[in-house]
A and B are shown apart, each in its own frame.
Chain A
Amino acid sequence: MSDVATGAFVSPKLLPPLPSPGRLKRWRIIATWRDVVLTALSLYLIWTLGWPALKFLFLDAVWTGSSRADCLAETAGHPVGACWPFIAAKFPQFVYGFYPESERWRADLTFFLGGMLLLPLLIPRTPFKIANALLFFVAFPVVAYFLLIGGSFGLHYVETRSWGGLLVTLVVAVTGIVTSLPLGILLALARRSELPLLRTGAVIFIEFWRGVPLVAVLFFATFMLPLFLPPGWEIDAMLRVLVGISIFAAAYIAEVIRGGLQAVPRAQYEGAKALGLGYWGAMGLVVLPQALRVSIPGIVNIFIGLFKDTTLVLTVAIFDLLGQLRAAFADPNWSSPSTLFTGFAFAGLIYFVFCFGMSRYSLFLERRLHRDRD
């Protein structure tokens, strides 16, 4: 301190660099006593959670069998882990619910079509983005509707009550996003409109739906919606839920898109106006394309939330993947001590793969967006 104060001494030669801390030191696993304790605690945690999980899922698991008897410790001769034959036996139920067996190719075809249209949409470099988006967001839902419901084009009618499993999860999630996107764009535009009445209306609408839990929205759609329809109109239970989810998701999408709209400089809109474009021209051709581009990661995040929230349809007696899982637990043919954990491990894996994939994709998009801007 005193040296600096008197300003007397500056070292004429550079100090030699310190030796590299080495990998173990750099990771700080055993750098200090504190790190040693933390590392030991972490290892203990991994040991107490990881080893039993490994043993349960693979080492002690039963891989083949035809009924609960095969998954009991007495039959297997060792403590039994996961009962995978249970999953194999219930697999069609987890995927299709009670969709008639002879018609399941229709669900498969829908999955295939959706996947084929979605895949190029997700890869940034593929051409024909607009045509592709139109096909996925407009044409595909219509085709999927006729394929799944049937009753026309020589297909048998399959009532929605027999749908279930992953099929319902995907139908609810995709319908939710496809319908809520245009609705959300309109709501966001209304919320940023210069017309005070329209703006107030949009604010109340959005904040109301964002303030109530989804379960309440589903109950609202299931029990209240039919009362508000003209007498004599029947509305399918699945459709009610879809209406509720779409409105709910639209409110959230609207907020994401509003954020995107705010990120577009005002001058863009003014410039468009100066070029002689009207409101819809300026919004549709100049502002919205930029705003939507910025909002895509946010929209994907909403979609992840929506995908997870589809499980709530269980509360209004529609059996999605989780509902089918619960139903499968009740089957006495397969009730064994490990059935519960096996089922949860399987369904958890499916949910995790979908959600984790989407969140990684959203991160990838965000990074790309930042890179393009730099």
Chain B
Amino acid sequence: MTAIEDDRAARPPRLALYRDPRARSIFAQALFVLLLLWLGWELVANARSNLAAKGIVSGFGFLNSSAGFDVSQALIPYGPTDSVRRLYLVGLLNTLLVAVLGIFFATILGFIIGVARLSGNWLVARLAGGYVELVRNLPLLFQLLFWYLAVLGTLPATRNSLSLFDAIFLNNRGIVLPRPIFGDGTGIVALAFGSGVLAVWAWRRGARALQMAAGKSIPVFWPALALLIGPPLVVMAATGFPVGFERPALQGFNFVGGWRVIPEFAALLIGLVVYTAAFIAETVRGGILAVARGQSEAAYALGLPRGKTVRLVVIPQALRVIVPPLTSHYLNLTKNSSLAVGIGYPDLFAVFAGTALNQSGAQAIEIIAITMATYLALSLATSALMNFYNARLRLVER
């Protein structure tokens, strides 16, 4: 006994330096850093001599030079003489547009399909399952090309456009939609809508407070709908309907008026939504299955009707399981939007890394670095946003 205690009291045994864990750890890390530094130095030196050999001046000056080509879809005014910087902005906005719309529609479709897969109706469940299996097992680029070449590409010519209600037209040059027109007095309508939103918020707060205080629940959904639609409608009628739609009309070989959605955009959006929705559906299905059956049974036993059970008991718990993987599906959708380069939609990647790189040729390092940094920033921003949302949903534990 005493010997052991003596040992403990004594200083740890002296190790040879190469056996000492701390020394080894410092040595290994120093080696790692040196290796990285050497590699970095080597790469930079190689790049410099390669660039010098090709007579390329590196730097970001090219951003101010004129881009020299036009883009088929721009959300901000843009022409071929504008700078590469503006071109970058056009591409970024196009990417954001398709990503935001894609996330929105893919979430809705994904939730519908996910719930349909759990339906008690055998046929509905099988149909949803077939959709998920088919879509998940085909490459996205394949699907994009299919939508672009085979579906949208074989639509009739402008003359013989397919039309829906005489307002929406489909042809091989794209989709023509009615465009909203905002006349005088739109501001008042918007104001009425805004006050409706505020009123809904107040109503919900009031309803919750009443529930907490008196245990009484008053309806929220229908009053909210009335508050959202009512005031703007009344104001619109009073100001003589300043908001209207401009119908596209065929004149000669082209449509006049309306909004023309280029087929590349439509194909990319449809492809991304269809593809991502299949993954979201699986996540939703898993999340709902993860809620123990006892939870909904207990809710029924407490006398909650089916709709309230789903809304108040099942969904809040399922969302905790669904949100983290949902984040990665959103990230994938954003990153996958770069496949636009395969069908020629002018997103950030296609106009900036694709066309601009071909045009200037020389600035490969700068262009690809900017592109990668942008996608990285988009990814980090999306995951930060979703982490914030997730933190709000998380189970509050002691």
Interface residue? A348 (CB, 8 A): yes
Task: List residues of chain B with CB within 8 A of the CB of A220.
Answer: 368, 372
Is A228 a contact of B46 with CB atoms below 8 Å?
yes
Known A-B contacts A28-B121, A215-B339, A227-B365; A322 and B142 likewise in contact (beta carbons under 8 Å): yes
Kindly state the separation between the CA atoms of A201 and B153 in the bound complex, as whole angstroms: 47
Kindly state the separation between the CA atoms of A54 and B51 in the bound complex, as whole angstroms: 57
Taking a contact as CB atoms closer than 8 A, the residue among B25, B142, B339, B353 that contacts A219 in the complex is: B353
Known A-B contacts A39-B123, A201-B32, A311-B142; A359 and B368 likewise in contact (beta carbons under 8 Å): no
Is A195 a contact of B137 with CB atoms below 8 Å?
no
Kindly state the separation between the CA atoms of A35 and B121 in the bound complex, as whole angstroms: 6
Is A356 a contact of B133 with CB atoms below 8 Å?
yes
Task: List residues of chain A with CB within 8 A of the CB of B119.
Answer: 38
Binds A, one of B207-215, B237-245, B374-382: B374-382
Interface residue? A366 (CB, 8 A): no
Is B142 a contact of A355 with CB atoms below 8 Å?
no
Is B335 a contact of A197 with CB atoms below 8 Å?
no
Interface residue? A347 (CB, 8 A): yes
Is A215 a contact of B142 with CB atoms below 8 Å?
no
Is A216 a contact of B375 with CB atoms below 8 Å?
yes
> Restricting to B166-186, which residues have a CB under 8 Å from any CB of A?
none
Binds B, one of A5-13, A82-90, A140-148, A206-214: A206-214
User: How many whole Å from B78's CB to the nearest CB in chain A?
Assistant: 23
Interface residues on A, range: 35 or more
> Restricting to A20-41, which residues have a CB under 8 Å from any CB of B?
27-29, 31, 35, 38-39
Task: List residues of chain A with CB within 8 A of the CB of B141.
Answer: 311-312, 314, 322
Task: List residues of chain A with CB within 8 A of the CB of B29.
Answer: 195-198
* Chain A residue nearest to B122 in the complex (CB): A27
User: How many whole Å from A190's CB to the nearest CB in chain B?
Assistant: 9
Kindly state the separation between the CA atoms of A216 and B335 in the bound complex, as whole angstroms: 9
Q: Mark A199-232, 1 if CB is under 8 A from B, else 0.
A: 0010000001001111110011001101111110
Task: List residues of chain B with CB within 8 A of the CB of A224.
Answer: 364-365, 368
Kindly state the separation between the CA atoms of A143 and B244 in the bound complex, as whole angstroms: 69
Interface residue? A308 (CB, 8 A): yes
> Restricting to B209-223, which residues have a CB under 8 Å from any CB of A?
none
Interface residue? B145 (CB, 8 A): yes
Main secondary structure of the interface of A (DSSP, over half): helix
Interface residue? B188 (CB, 8 A): no
Kindly state the separation between the CA atoms of A312 and B146 in the bound complex, as whole angstroms: 15
* Chain A residue nearest to B375 in the complex (CB): A212
Q: Mark B118-141, 1 if CB is under 8 A from A, else 0.
A: 011111100100000110111111
Interface residue? B359 (CB, 8 A): no
Task: List residues of chain A with CB within 8 A of the CB of B66.
Answer: none
Interface residue? B357 (CB, 8 A): yes
Is A351 a contact of B375 with CB atoms below 8 Å?
no
Known A-B contacts A224-B368, A227-B50, A355-B137; A195 and B28 likewise in contact (beta carbons under 8 Å): yes
What are 26 A-B pairs at a CB distance below 8 A? A27-B122, A39-B124, A42-B123, A42-B127, A197-B32, A198-B29, A208-B376, A216-B368, A219-B357, A219-B371, A223-B364, A228-B47, A228-B50, A229-B50, A230-B42, A230-B46, A231-B46, A311-B141, A314-B342, A322-B139, A326-B145, A329-B149, A340-B154, A344-B146, A348-B138, A348-B142
Task: Give the interface of A toward B (CB within 8 A).
Answer: 27-29, 31, 35, 38-39, 42-43, 45-46, 194-198, 201, 208, 211-216, 219-220, 223-224, 226-231, 304, 307-312, 314-315, 322, 326, 329, 337, 340-341, 344, 347-348, 351-352, 355-356, 359
The 8 A-B residue pairs whose C-beta atoms are closest, nearest first, are A27-B122, A355-B137, A213-B335, A308-B139, A213-B338, A211-B379, A223-B364, A311-B141
